[in-house]
């Protein structure tokens, strides 16, 4: 079955806007589990714009689902990950000025650094994922340095679809399909995420090599109208329908 990882970052965004303890990301994670999520994703950014260190403490202490900790490839984040040893660690590119993650890691151009960075995380027992584009050079580099998983960035596909740029959307989809096939042949588990909604998830969910989708911002927005339970159950339904 295709797994659904629910990203709870933007529960923390709403909380931080008022500087109160509410809404609580841990409560959202527990509700996501009841609604059918298979895992929880949280991105501890360097600027702590949403998820905070105390959130990771609480998730590690109380969460029964696997935690996927997203983070930049910095010494500070490595130390935090080694202290907590979450089920999975997804290494992502990060810039202070960006609104959200833009593009994938340049693994091919930073092989030596990333190989050294992920080695102790692997030894500590976490499954290491690299958030990358679908370019063959990046996928092959991820396999060479010992990543267990690649998460393919679906943002461009989703943007082209939203903007009605059908030719570019279809070309991006073809790249994602070929990337997923290559990653699977190289022994990597394939995940995907970024920008996925009810309207575009089916095509990505139908790619047979993809084992997990990580979805956050859209679900948190839909939760304002449907409730978190309803929003997640509807996404789960569409994913399952796409897989037949």
Active site members: 43, 70, 194
Residue 5, beta-bridge partner list: 39, 214
Task: Kindly write down the DSSP assignment for every residue of the chain, as one continuous string.
Answer: --EEEEE-HHHHHHHHHHTSS-S-HHHHHHHHHHHT-SEEEEE--TT-SSS-HHHHHHHHHH--SPEEEEE-SSHHHHHHHHHH--SEEEE----TT-SS--S---TGGGHHHHHHHHHHHHHTTPEEEEEE-S-HHHHHHHHHTT-SEEEEE-HHHHHHHHTT-HHHHHHHHHHHHHHHHHHHHTT-EEEEESS--TTTHHHHHT-TTEEEEEE-HHHHHHHHHHHHHHHHHHHHHHHHHHT-
**Binding site members:** 7, 9-10, 18, 45, 50, 100, 195, 216-217
Q: How many residues does the chain have?
A: 244
Alpha carbons 5 and 2: distance in angstroms, whole number: 10
Rounded to whole angstroms, how far apart are CA atoms 80 and 87? 13
Q: Which residues are annotated as a binding site for 3-amino-2-oxopropyl phosphate?
A: 7, 18, 195, 216-217
Residues tagged in the binding site annotation for 1-deoxy-D-xylulose 5-phosphate: 9-10, 45, 50, 100
- How far does Cα 144 stand from its chain's mean position? 21
């Amino acid at each position: 079955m295709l797994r659904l990882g629910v990203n709870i970052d933007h529960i923390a965004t709403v909380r931080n806007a008022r500087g109160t303890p509410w809404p609580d990301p841990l409560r959202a994670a527990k509700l996501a589990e009841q609604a059918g999520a298979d895992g929880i994703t949280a991105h501890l950014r360097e600027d702590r714009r949403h998820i905070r260190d105390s959130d990771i403490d609480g998730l590690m202490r109380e969460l029964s689902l696997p935690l996927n900790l997203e983070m930049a490839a910095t010494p500070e984040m490595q130390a935090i990950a080694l202290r907590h040893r979450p089920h999975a660690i997804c290494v992502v590119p990060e810039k202070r000025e960006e609104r959200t993650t833009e593009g994938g890691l340049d693994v091919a151009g930073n092989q030596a650094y990333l190989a050294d960075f992920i080695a102790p995380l692997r030894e500590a027992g976490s499954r290491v994922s690299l958030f990358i584009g679908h370019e063959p050079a990046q996928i092959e580099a991820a396999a060479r340095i010992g990543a267990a998983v690649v998460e393919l960035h679906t943002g461009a596909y989703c943007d082209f679809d939203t903007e009605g740029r059908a030719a570019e959307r279809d070309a991006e989809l073809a790249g994602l399909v070929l990337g997923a096939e290559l990653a699977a042949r190289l022994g990597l588990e394939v995940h995907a995420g970024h920008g996925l909604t009810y309207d575009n998830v089916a095509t990505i969910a139908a790619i047979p090599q993809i084992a997990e989708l990580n979805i956050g911002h859209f679900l948190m927005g839909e939760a304002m109208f449907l409730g978190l339970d309803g929003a997640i159950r509807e996404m789960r339904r569409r994913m399952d329908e796409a897989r037949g």
